[in-house]
């Protein structure tokens, strides 16, 4: 289809189209040319807003993090003071990690985006600043707080990615159940059974509770001062 006449767009409209493309076709499909086609624009017209793919991806990352109400989250979690020690630090980190997870659950395609794009814009940096502030208020020095921030970020992104993959498999199985493979058709005939893994897959484990449990256990280790060497 021939692109229509050039028209003015807002950054919000462009990014909305980019996210629709991301969720529909995956990370590799997101490009200046692809978004321009979805909006009925020429790529040249899109370059006025985003000169290249990296700029477009950076704008998408900023929009994701911009949806977090970080100041409100921190105040609600830590009460009247940001410097309440370990208990306050735990509450602040758990609240922010949960808020980020909830945001990404609605847009699981954004996980790949965050993993592939530098998180150095103002909104992304604001998230790191809040995590660093929480960890330093809990007694960590800046170097340890930086590592702890990285660990929390990895946990959030990994949890969302795994849950999204599990949900996608469940949907696919419901739509088109696979016929059981004949013994001669499987690669695993000669392997031993895995009773614990098989039983764990049958557990009715709520993703929200599993995520919170993981963050809490992570914080059990992160907020304990490292022993002197």
Count the domains in the chain. 2
CA gap 105, 32 in Å, rounded: 25
Token couple for 7: 């028209």
The stretch 26-43 carries a mean pLDDT of 88
Q: Are 139 and 223 in contact (CB under 8 A)?
A: yes
Q: Is residue 191 part of a domain?
A: no
CA gap 47, 36 in Å, rounded: 9
pLDDT above 50: residue 125? yes
- The answer on 25 and 89 residing in a single domain is no
More confident residue, 121 or 192: 121
pLDDT band at residue 92 under the 50/70/90 scheme: very high
Token couple for 202: 């049958």
Q: Is residue 185 part of a domain?
A: no
How many other C-beta atoms can be found within 10 angstroms of the C-beta atom of residue 118?
11
Mean pLDDT, the chain, integer:
81
The stretch 175-198 carries a mean pLDDT of 63
More confident residue, 195 or 146: 146
Share of the chain above pLDDT 90, in %: 37
- The answer on 105 and 216 residing in a single domain is yes
pLDDT of residue 184: 53
- Domain span holding position 88: 70-174+204-222
Q: What is the pTM of this model?
A: 0.75
pLDDT of residue 75: 45
The stretch 15-36 carries a mean pLDDT of 88
DSSP string, 14-50: HHHHHHHHHHHH-GGG--HHHHHHHHT--HHHHHTT-
């Amino acid at each position: 289809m021939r692109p229509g006449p050039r028209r003015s767009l807002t950054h919000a409209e462009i990014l909305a189209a980019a996210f629709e493309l991301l969720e529909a076709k995956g990370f590799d499909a997101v490009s200046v040319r692809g978004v321009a086609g979805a909006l009925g624009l020429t790529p040249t017209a899109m370059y006025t807003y985003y000169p290249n793919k990296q700029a477009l991806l950076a704008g998408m990352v900023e929009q994701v993090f911009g949806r977090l109400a970080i100041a409100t989250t921190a105040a609600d979690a830590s009460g009247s003071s940001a410097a309440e020690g370990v208990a306050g630090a735990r509450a602040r980190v758990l609240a922010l990690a949960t808020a980020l997870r909830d945001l990404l659950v609605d847009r699981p395609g954004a996980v790949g985006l965050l993993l592939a794009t530098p998180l150095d814009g103002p909104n992304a940096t604001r998230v790191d600043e809040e995590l660093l502030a929480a960890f330093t208020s809990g007694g960590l020095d800046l170097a340890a707080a930086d590592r702890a921030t990285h660990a929390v970020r990895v946990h959030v992104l990994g949890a969302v990615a795994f849950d999204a993959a599990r949900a996608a498999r469940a949907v696919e199985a419901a739509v088109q159940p696979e016929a059981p493979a004949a013994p001669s058709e499987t690669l695993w005939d000669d392997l031993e059974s895995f009773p614990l893994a098989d039983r764990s897959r049958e557990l009715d484990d709520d993703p929200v509770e599993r995520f919170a449990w993981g963050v809490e256990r992570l914080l059990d280790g992160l907020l304990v001062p490292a022993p002197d060497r």
